[in-house]
């Protein structure tokens, strides 16, 4: 019996995380700050949040840097409070971290993509061991685990591995290696695939760790026509929609991996 494993990124792969959710988080933080007497504008809060998010993602790729979620929340607030000449305290850090987490867990803007459950179920039915490999920025892995439970996705997932548990973030090989070690019990898999919406974090990270990479290119930046597209023969692919991932095993079945 062959050993087949596949892992998925979470946000914007299995669960939607877009501008509407960021605006909701920003709005709730702004309301909280006003409740404690800080008249921060929505625009300034949004700018600080999105700016740091972008910076963290870039540093992960260029410097392989991992920073714990609570430290990122603190940095976000330090920059914002500096703008208003207000001294930050740890109670604010804890409160804002909880606001971000609770918004994510309660928001209608954080929900599974339409094909998420179907794809996970199909891969399980096809004999794959299924895992999650996901980074964290402003909330801990426990929040993501609760979201996957909330939407009934975790029952299709054998292993979940997150950056705050490993101390390394994608595209660092350590996080992929942890996941695939747990999924295969340190045996050599016949097929190993990773799926995500990050070109560098997911696609390049997996390929550099000798895993077949699948990039979800919903905007069509690289996959203009003919999805799935083969970027590197038998090693790297692009799809426009998550459910097209189900075609990848058939494409690689004749490859010598």
Q: What is the pLDDT of residues 173-224, one digit of tens each?
A: 999 999 999 999 999 999 999 999 999 999 999 999 999 999 999 999 888 8
**Do residues 46 and 157 share a domain?**
no
**Do residues 126 and 247 share a domain?**
yes
Tell me which residue has tokens 């959710």.
21
**Do residues 73 and 192 share a domain?**
no
Domain boundary among 53, 82, 106: 106
- Where residue 256 falls among pLDDT bands split at 50, 70, 90? low
Domain boundary among 73, 90, 106: 106
**Do residues 67 and 184 share a domain?**
no
pTM of the model: 0.95
CATH number, position 9: 3.40.50.1000
Distance of CA 74 to the CA centre of its chain: 21
Domains of the chain: total = 2
Give the pair of three-digit tokens for residue 84.
């208003």
**Do residues 191 and 124 share a domain?**
yes
Domain boundary among 91, 106, 121: 106
**Do residues 11 and 89 share a domain?**
no
Mean pLDDT in residue range 221-228: 84
- Residue 30 confidence (pLDDT) above 80: yes
**Do residues 8 and 49 share a domain?**
no
Q: Which pLDDT tens digit goes with each residue over 116-140?
A: 999 999 999 999 999 999 999 999 9
**Residue 53: which domain range?**
19-106
Does some domain include residue 257? no
Does some domain include residue 45? yes
- Where residue 246 falls among pLDDT bands split at 50, 70, 90? very high
**Do residues 85 and 72 share a domain?**
yes
- Residue 257 confidence (pLDDT) above 60: no
């Amino acid at each position: 019996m062959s050993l087949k494993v596949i892992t998925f990124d979470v946000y914007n792969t299995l669960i939607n995380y877009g501008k509407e959710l960021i605006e909701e988080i920003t709005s709730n933080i702004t309301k909280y700050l006003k409740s404690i007497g800080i008249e921060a504008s929505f625009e300034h809060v949004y700018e600080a949040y999105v700016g740091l998010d972008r910076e963290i993602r870039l540093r992960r790729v260029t410097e392989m840097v991992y920073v714990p979620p609570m430290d990122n929340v603190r940095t976000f607030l330090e920059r914002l409070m500096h703008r208003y000449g207000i001294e930050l305290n740890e109670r604010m850090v804890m409160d804002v971290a909880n606001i971000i987490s609770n918004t994510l867990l309660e928001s209608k803007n954080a929900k599974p993509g339409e094909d998420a459950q179907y794809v996970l179920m199909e891969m399980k039915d096809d004999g794959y061991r299924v895992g999650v490999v996901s980074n964290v920025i402003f909330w801990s892995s426990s929040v993501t685990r609760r979201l996957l439970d909330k939407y009934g996705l975790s029952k299709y997932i054998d292993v979940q591995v997150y950056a705050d548990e490993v101390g390394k973030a994608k595209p660092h090989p350590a996080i992929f290696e942890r996941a695939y070690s747990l999924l295969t019990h340190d045996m050599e898999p016949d097929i190993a695939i990773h799926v995500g919406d990050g070109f560098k974090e997911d696609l390049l990270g997996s390929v550099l760790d000798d895993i077949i990479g699948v990039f979800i290119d919903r905007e069509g930046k690289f996959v203009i026509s003919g999805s799935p597209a083969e970027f590197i023969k038998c090693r790297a692919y692009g799809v426009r929609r998550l459910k097209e991932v189900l075609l990848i095993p058939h494409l690689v079945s004749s490859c010598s991996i």
